[in-house]
Amino acid sequence: MSALIETLSLLHPIHRSVSPATRRSMRRLIGPGLLVAVGYVDPGNWATDIAAGSSYGYTLLGSVLLASLLGLLFQTMAARLGMATGEDLAELTCRLLPRPLALSAWLASELAIVATALAELVGGAIALRLLFGLPLQVGMIVAALGTLAIMALSQRRQRAHEFVVSALLAIVSLTFVYLLIKARPVGGDVLQGLASSARVFGNHGMLTVALGIVGATVMPHNLFLHSGLIAERSKDLPAHERPMALRVVETDTRVSLLLATLVNAAMLMVAAASLSHIGMPVNNLDDAYHAIALTLGAGAAAIFAVALYAAGQSSAITGVLAGCILSRGFRGRESRTWLRGIATRLAGVCIGFVLLAARPGIGADTLLVLSQCVLGIALPFALLPMLMLAGKRDLMGQYGFGRGFMALAAAGTALVIVLDGYLLITAFG
């Protein structure tokens, strides 16, 4: 995939004749997009995409595409902010914006990382329960230990993290290619679903699921992660290489998020093709597993569970990396990756155990929904500072965005805030 991104980035005639040293510099900028993309296929997205496809067929496929376009818009802004300034979003927020806003952004983002850790642990625990019959609490502990083991094996090199995440994302992607082939969706039905996307506004249940898809896709900590990775890798680039570097970064972002979009769309299409007409309710990931076993076979169901575990682990790694960037930017001190991993896993396990003990009847998928609500609360605290910083001409220099892009970003931010507010009202109202 790195070779594909490099080829696409250097297709422009002025970039075809570049030195080997420049190519090496450009290769260092390939990979952050992939780390960000795994946040788009985490267990929370699984729950919403499968609910959408199994309940409403292909009608909400347009919502998946809208969520992905919003994600591309915001991740492009985060990456260019890091490229233009040589600082990550956390550092810039702490240095240039009012202290109350910076403090709220930091606390909300830390809360989002813990909520994401909870979702990843619950998703991994569900997968282990489906595969081996482990109780949910035991599965959460095993999933946490699995994350720490992966981090320990790859902690010395950031490229090792990218390799592990790429491998896990490949498992998820190939799984849904396989399931899509098995499910055999009808092309005409897919197009009809896309054409009828406007029906979502006339159906309360459909609208709620659609808002869940959009609200759960853009992860607040991904914005800090992306800006930090790009700032770190581009800060020593000479001025004449920076236009090419920006092209590489934006190509990396587009290709990676396109892959994530296709996986999300495949999740919904598999659910729509194989789970929407079987005569049994599919209300959660357990139901989806059993329905896939019924319609596509036990082997397909087992592959589904393995991919769910891989999705949780890949997102867990990027959450830890994002936490390290938050510590460096807001607290001014480096945070060891392994220590961050232990802290977030421990917090996620403790919160999960407390919720399960306080409400014994609570389901695993309810915990996933709760984690997405927390992300919805935290998201504006990352989007608003980024929008304010990206609009500063003196800060962005020649890499500033045009008025059209900024207007689109402002509209997207307002839309996300409204959607997240609606989700919270329906969840707790």
Taking residues 147-156, what's their average pLDDT? Answer: 77
- Give residue-wise pLDDT tens across range 189-210: 999 999 888 888 778 778 878 8
Band the pLDDT of 163: cuts 50, 70, 90. Answer: confident
Lowest mean pLDDT among 137-151, 239-253, 351-365: 351-365
**Looking at 67-71, 152-156, 161-165, 407-411, which range is the least confident one?**
152-156
What pLDDT is stored for residue 211 in this prediction?
78
* CB burial of residue 159 (10 Å; 0-12, 13-18, 19+): exposed
* pLDDT at residue number 197: 85
**Lookup: tokens for 190:** 């897919």
What residues contact 179, with CB distance under 8 A and at least 6 apart? Answer: 266, 270, 274, 292, 296, 300, 303, 304
Mean pLDDT, the chain, integer: 87
Contact criterion met (CB below 8 Å) for 385 and 224:
no
Which segment of 138-152, 211-225, 338-352 scores lowest on mean pLDDT? Answer: 211-225
**Mean pLDDT value of segment 176-185:** 90
Matching residue, tokens 């019924």: 294
Mean pLDDT across the stretch 41-60? 88
Type of residue found at 347: A
| Alpha carbons 293 and 70: distance in angstroms, whole number | 34
pLDDT of residue 161: 75
Taking the whole predicted model, whether its pTM rises above 0.75 is answered as: yes
Six-digit token string for 310: 């891989």
Percent of the chain beyond pLDDT 70?
Answer: 91
| Residue in this structure with the two tokens 């961050």, named with its chain if needed | 340
**pLDDT at position 3 over 80:** no
At a CB cut-off of 8 Å and minimum separation 6, what does 130 contact? 285, 286, 289, 301, 305, 308
Residue 156 pLDDT: 59
- Res 14: pLDDT: 46
Q: Give the pLDDT mean for 330-351.
A: 86
Q: Is the pLDDT of residue 9 over 80?
A: no
Over residues 290-296, the mean pLDDT reads 87
Question: Which of 92-106, 208-222, 285-299 reaches the highest mean pLDDT?
Answer: 92-106
Q: pLDDT confidence of 28, banded at 50, 70, 90? A: confident
| Mean pLDDT (whole number) for 267-281 | 80
3-state helix, strand, coil in the chain (%, to 5): 85, 0, 15
The CATH code for residues 2-9+32-428 is 1.20.1740.10
pLDDT in tens, 357-376: 888 777 787 788 778 778 87
**Percentage of the chain lying above the pLDDT 90 cut:** 50
